[in-house]
Chain A
Amino acid sequence: MNKVRTAQEAVAQIESGMTVGIGGWGPRRKPMALVRELLRSDVKDLTVVAYGGADVGMLCAAGKVKKVVFAFVSLDFIPLEPYFREARQNGTVETMEIDEGMMLLGLRAAAWGVPFIPTRIGLGTDVIKVNKDLKVIGSPYDDKEWVAMPALNLDVALIHADRADERGVCQIKGPDLYMDDWFARAAKNTIVSCDELVPTAYFHAGDEARYVHWERSQTQLVVPAPGGAHPSSCNPLYGYDTAHFNEYNASVKDGGFSRYFEKYIAGKSESEYQMAVGGLEKIRALALPVY
């Protein structure tokens, strides 16, 4: 089975109104080439589930988002994501604001085919007040109350991996896979962009297979996208682009997202985008972050 598609072909499967999960964490290993393709499409009214970074900010700014399911949206070294902030402060997006761990439970519930997972997280806080759909329930086994974290069923998950083969075996060799395995399992269809398309034999050598965190049946499409996480990081291949993020952050007060979009994304292919940001070699040379 050959699952390889272009970004345009893969993203064409996403329809308005769908629930889209996006892997990575803040400015780390985001499937940005796929996000850029989504920004160029005419899709709208998406519900986006993410440990959010510029992926969420850009989709909000471009008017693609009806609702954001989030615990944070941040670029780490720039704590507050400028366009998510703008969207919230203008009241233009609906929200489901939950704890980071609750999001993990919601993805697991979806992956396991159960309607909810009970948790104490959220009790005593505004999480159970502002999310009208979030139910607090009794337990058949004790006298406490519990939050019933609903399954976050995804129509599509977008993930960026280091490597994949054409059958959808995906490798993440960075120090953390974040919750990407759960995004893949929570989705009906998972689209994985990869920095490198490799032959299946690649995984047979040494311990390469140890860095494959979900089985290929959870991956429906593979999109070769060298440098495709830029401006986010793809550790160990490259770090995040602080200069680019600084420019992106400043753009909110200097021309807004439309100016950023026109300069880097509108009408451009991914290779034209990379030319505009300094080229693939420059991306691959970006220093890894030190925490």
Chain B
Amino acid sequence: MSQAATQYSLAELMIVAGAEALRHDGEVLATGIGVLPRLAASLAMKTFNPDLMMTDSEAFILSEPNPISGRSSHEGQKQESWMGFSRIFDNVWSGKRHAIVGPSQIDRYGQTNISALGGSYDKPKSQMLGVRGFPGNSISHANSFFVPAHSKRVFVEGECDVVCSIGYNPQRLPKGYALDDIDIRLVITDLCVMDWKGPRHMLQLLSVHPGVSVEQVLENTGFEIHVPSNVPVTTAPTMEQLAIVAQLDPQNWRAKQLKDNPPGNRG
């Protein structure tokens, strides 16, 4: 079962890569916003990090993650603690959380935007969600990013239109803080996996997905990233991981998350 799969979708590859972000986290609240990040967190909890905590996305912490699809109610879920929204903030501010989120924009500093695009702040071209919990999350606990369509529209050349989360930007660093106080972990895209451990916290390429070239990554990123001399191919899911993901998503919602549901190996 732990042998590498040969047939898997890109979505499944990204779920498995996302789970890796949580492998060494120990006992923290893992929050995956959206279908693929939530499956990534659920997979991590079901396999190599059973100490993780997850919620039912409503008001309870679960001992076992809920399947993301195929449920008609919250009845029978394995809930162990009440966790209403006000208590979520108590957890956030304790630092014992790792969120995997999908920003609309990410800049060279790891700052992100989900608030508004274009125009001016008082009259944006496109109003999005608002800053939500990004300011508090980013200065309180670990965050990883999920990017379903790696492009220069997401990885922007300049700063984000609205900076919703703190990043590795010396110009914005608050008094009394060091860049190392900011904890941004992995970036999982449809092309590659990256982290922020390049020189001076530059975004750095960790692996490219099967069939993707380093050039493709560079062409679709609006700023310079660090490319180590050796860039491996992203590790394929194991048969066991695919089986667990299928149990967590019996209705295969994961197949609808990426345009045309491409295969994991595009070679």
- Residues of A bordering B, CB below 8 Å: 25, 70-74, 79-80, 84-85, 88-91, 95, 97-102, 104, 119-127, 129-130, 136, 138, 142-145, 175-179, 182, 288, 290-291
Question: Is B164 in contact with A100, judged by CB distance below 8 angstroms?
Answer: no
Chain A residue with the shortest CB-CB distance to B84: A176
Question: Is A120 in contact with B130, judged by CB distance below 8 angstroms?
Answer: no
18 contacting pairs across A/B (C-beta < 8 A): A71-B131, A71-B132, A88-B116, A99-B134, A99-B136, A100-B136, A102-B136, A121-B140, A124-B111, A124-B177, A125-B138, A130-B162, A138-B175, A145-B176, A176-B84, A288-B74, A291-B57, A291-B74
Give bound CA distance, A166 to B13, whole Å: 57
Give bound CA distance, A122 to B172, whole Å: 11
Task: Quote the shortest CB–CB distance from B61 to chain A (angstroms).
Answer: 12
Question: Is B164 in contact with A175, judged by CB distance below 8 angstroms?
Answer: no
Chain B residues within an 8 Å CB radius of A72: 129-132
A178 and B131 in contact (CB under 8 A), knowing A90-B123, A126-B163, A144-B175? Answer: no
Question: Is A175 in contact with B131, judged by CB distance below 8 angstroms?
Answer: no
At the interface, yes or no: B166 with Cβ under 8 Å from chain A? yes
Question: B7-46, CB under 8 A of A: which get 1 and which 0?
Answer: 0000000000000000000000000000000000000000
Chain B residues within an 8 Å CB radius of A177: 84, 86
Question: B114-140, CB under 8 A of A: which get 1 and which 0?
Answer: 011001011111111111111110111
Chain A residue with the shortest CB-CB distance to B130: A72
Give bound CA distance, A91 to B119, whole Å: 10
Chain A residues within an 8 Å CB radius of B93: 101
Assuming A74-B129, A97-B131, A290-B73, what are 5 further A-B pairs, CB within 8 angstroms?
A88-B123, A100-B132, A127-B131, A175-B74, A288-B74
Chain A residues within an 8 Å CB radius of B176: 142-145
Task: Quote the shortest CB–CB distance from B97 to chain A (angstroms).
Answer: 12
Question: Is B124 in contact with A98, judged by CB distance below 8 angstroms?
Answer: no
A178 and B128 in contact (CB under 8 A), knowing A142-B176, A291-B58? Answer: no
Chain B residues within an 8 Å CB radius of A25: 85
Question: Is B174 in contact with A126, judged by CB distance below 8 angstroms?
Answer: no
Which residue from B85, B92, B128 sits with its C-beta under 8 Å from A179? Answer: B85
Chain A residue with the shortest CB-CB distance to B74: A290
Question: Is B129 in contact with A99, judged by CB distance below 8 angstroms?
Answer: no
Question: Is A125 in contact with B164, judged by CB distance below 8 angstroms?
Answer: yes
Chain A residues within an 8 Å CB radius of B121: 126, 130
Question: Is B175 in contact with A143, judged by CB distance below 8 angstroms?
Answer: yes
Give bound CA distance, A121 to B123, whole Å: 24
The A-contacting residues of B in range 157-187, CB under 8 angstroms, are 162-167, 169, 172-177, 182
Task: Quote the shortest CB–CB distance from B11 to chain A (angstroms).
Answer: 20
Chain B residue with the shortest CB-CB distance to A180: B86
Question: Is A99 in contact with B173, judged by CB distance below 8 angstroms?
Answer: no
Question: Is B129 in contact with A80, judged by CB distance below 8 angstroms?
Answer: yes
A125 and B166 in contact (CB under 8 A), knowing A88-B127, A142-B176, A144-B175? Answer: yes
Question: Is B123 in contact with A125, judged by CB distance below 8 angstroms?
Answer: no
Chain B residues within an 8 Å CB radius of A121: 135-136, 139-140
Task: Quote the shortest CB–CB distance from A177 to chain B (angstroms).
Answer: 6
Question: Is A104 in contact with B127, judged by CB distance below 8 angstroms?
Answer: no
Chain B residues within an 8 Å CB radius of A176: 58-59, 84-85
Task: Quote the shortest CB–CB distance from A253 to chain B (angstroms).
Answer: 15
The A-contacting residues of B in range 221-235, CB under 8 angstroms, are none
Chain A residues within an 8 Å CB radius of B165: 125
Chain B residues within an 8 Å CB radius of A125: 111, 131, 134-135, 138, 163-166, 172
Which residue from A71, A124, A178 sits with its C-beta under 8 Å from B166? Answer: A124
Question: Is A179 in contact with B174, judged by CB distance below 8 angstroms?
Answer: no
Question: Is A89 in contact with B124, judged by CB distance below 8 angstroms?
Answer: yes
Question: B63-92, CB under 8 A of A: which get 1 and which 0?
Answer: 000000001111000000010111001001
Question: Is A178 in contact with B130, judged by CB distance below 8 angstroms?
Answer: no
Question: Is B125 in contact with A89, judged by CB distance below 8 angstroms?
Answer: yes
Chain A residues within an 8 Å CB radius of B132: 71-72, 99-100
Give bound CA distance, A130 to B116, whole Å: 13
Question: Is A84 in contact with B172, judged by CB distance below 8 angstroms?
Answer: no
Chain B residues within an 8 Å CB radius of A126: 115, 121, 131, 162-164
Chain A residues within an 8 Å CB radius of B60: 175
Give bound CA distance, A276 to B74, whole Å: 30
At the interface, yes or no: B56 with Cβ under 8 Å from chain A? yes
A124 and B173 in contact (CB under 8 A), knowing A91-B123, A97-B115? Answer: yes
Chain A residue with the shortest CB-CB distance to B66: A291
Question: Is B127 in contact with A80, judged by CB distance below 8 angstroms?
Answer: yes
Question: Is A144 in contact with B177, judged by CB distance below 8 angstroms?
Answer: yes
Task: Quote the shortest CB–CB distance from B3 to chain A (angstroms).
Answer: 34
Question: Is B127 in contact with A99, judged by CB distance below 8 angstroms?
Answer: no
Question: Is A101 in contact with B84, judged by CB distance below 8 angstroms?
Answer: no
Chain A residue with the shortest CB-CB distance to B69: A290
Among A25, A72, A182, residue most surrounded by chain B Cβ atoms (within 10 Å): A72
Question: Is B85 in contact with A124, judged by CB distance below 8 angstroms?
Answer: no
Give bound CA distance, A126 to B162, whole Å: 6
